[in-house]
């Protein structure tokens, strides 16, 4: 009887100790996360290290350490603790996918892009709906100038999260580097719609303006105009659009449009682009036609291109843009409502 009582007391003591340890572990993890969120990365590392003393095989603690080391640029430790997560049998697939993502980022920053790509591909196997992994994969491929591979990864990212501005931006630059003006314009327009006022928006806006005018030059005195239409290489699904865009831009620069403001010219060119593409679509079907062209042609048919043109021009810093938006709040609200209701 005495032995039984002792055994029960020992079991209760062990259970109490385990419970207290678990409570302390959770407290340290929460403390680390709170410190990370306010940018106190050194404090977060300290909390997680204390947590590891209680349970060195805890997947969450190892993951949080990997993420924190990645945030402070200690890529060696970011890889180390990501690998700790990947070795743990009690880590769920979602957490392992995120650990692969952190590992991929760290490897890329260490100048090991091929290893980073392998890490991203492993992450995708575990979590095929993680748009950030596809974006990071696209970014690494873009930096390697593997534009076709970058495009495919970024298309996945955009489809998984249409509101991720960076995916549209990088996709636009990817197509620009491939010499695909129409697709680049479409992606950059979408980026500007999501992020119209940042520094990178200012750069993207200027790229859009330059591509709109690409291939059309006016001679001295503005009396002659030259239109250069490049011959598409291979089977280019947007070759007809390229030609018509240049022709429409020539019309925009003609004498009959003298006196129009730069903002009005931008709007007219934008509306013309969306109209041309919508009319050319017919039975064409691909990501670019079904995702971007349908979207912008529907916007045009709903009468929202003017508001969109001024809205995406905000980074230009022009007073005329700010004044138009202030004076046409109802049109801007209509654009916003249409956008919220448009389902991709």
Largest Cα separation within the chain, whole Å, is 112
Asked whether residue 12 carries a pLDDT value surpassing 60, the answer given is no
Q: The whole model's pTM is what? A: 0.87
| DSSP string over 195-244 | --SSHHHHHHHHHHHHHHTTTEEE-GGG--EEE--PPPPSS-TTHHHHHH
Asked whether residue 280 carries a pLDDT value surpassing 80, the answer given is yes
Q: Once rounded to an integer, what is the mean pLDDT over residues 146-173?
A: 98
Please report which confidence band the pLDDT of residue 13 belongs to, taking 50, 70 and 90 as the band edges: very low
Q: pLDDT tens digits, residue range 32-76?
A: 999 999 999 999 999 999 999 999 999 999 999 999 999 999 999
143's CB contacts (< 8 A; 6+ apart) are: 108, 113
Residue 289's alpha-carbon distances to 113, 162, 238, 271, 341, in angstroms, are: 32, 15, 10, 16, 20
Q: Alpha-carbon torsion 276, 186, 305, 271, what sign?
A: negative
| DSSP string over 40-61 | -HHHHHHHHHHHHHH-TT-HHH
């Amino acid at each position: 009887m005495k032995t039984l009582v002792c055994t029960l007391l020992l079991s209760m003591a062990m259970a109490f100790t385990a419970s207290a340890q678990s409570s302390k572990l959770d407290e340290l993890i929460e403390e680390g996360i709170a410190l990370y969120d306010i940018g106190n990365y050194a404090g977060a590392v300290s909390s997680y290290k204390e947590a590891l003393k209680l349970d060195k095989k805890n997947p969450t603690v190892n993951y949080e350490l990997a993420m924190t080391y990645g945030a402070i640029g200690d890529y060696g430790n970011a890889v180390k603790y990501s690998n700790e997560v990947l070795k743990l049998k009690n880590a769920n697939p979602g957490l392992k996918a995120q650990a692969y993502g952190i590992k991929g980022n760290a490897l890329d920053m260490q100048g090991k892009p091929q290893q980073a790509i392998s890490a991203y591909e492993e992450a995708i196997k575990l979590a095929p709906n993680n748009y950030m992994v596809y974006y990071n994969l696209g970014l690494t491929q873009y930096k390697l100038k593997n534009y076709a591979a970058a495009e495919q990864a970024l298309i996945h990212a955009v489809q998984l999260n249409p509101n991720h501005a960076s995916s549209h931006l990088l996709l636009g630059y990817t197509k620009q580097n491939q010499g695909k003006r129409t697709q680049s314009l479409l992606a950059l327009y979408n980026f500007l719609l999501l992020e119209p006022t940042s520094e990178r928006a200012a750069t993207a806006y200027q790229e859009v303006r330059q591509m709109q005018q690409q291939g059309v030059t006016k001679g001295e005195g503005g009396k002659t105009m030259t239109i250069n239409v490049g011959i598409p290489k291979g089977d280019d699904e947007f070759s007809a659009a390229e030609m018509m865009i240049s022709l429409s831009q020539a019309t925009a620069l003609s004498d009959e449009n003298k006196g129009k403001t730069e903002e009005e010219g931008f709007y007219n060119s934008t509306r013309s682009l969306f109209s041309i593409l919508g009319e050319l679509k017919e039975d064409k079907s691909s990501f670019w036609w079904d995702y971007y062209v349908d979207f912008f042609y529907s916007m045009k048919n709903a009468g929202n291109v003017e508001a969109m043109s001024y809205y995406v021009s905000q980074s230009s810093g022009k007073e005329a843009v700010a004044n138009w938006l202030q004076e046409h709040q109802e049109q801007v609200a209509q654009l916003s409502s249409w956008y919220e209701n448009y389902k991709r």
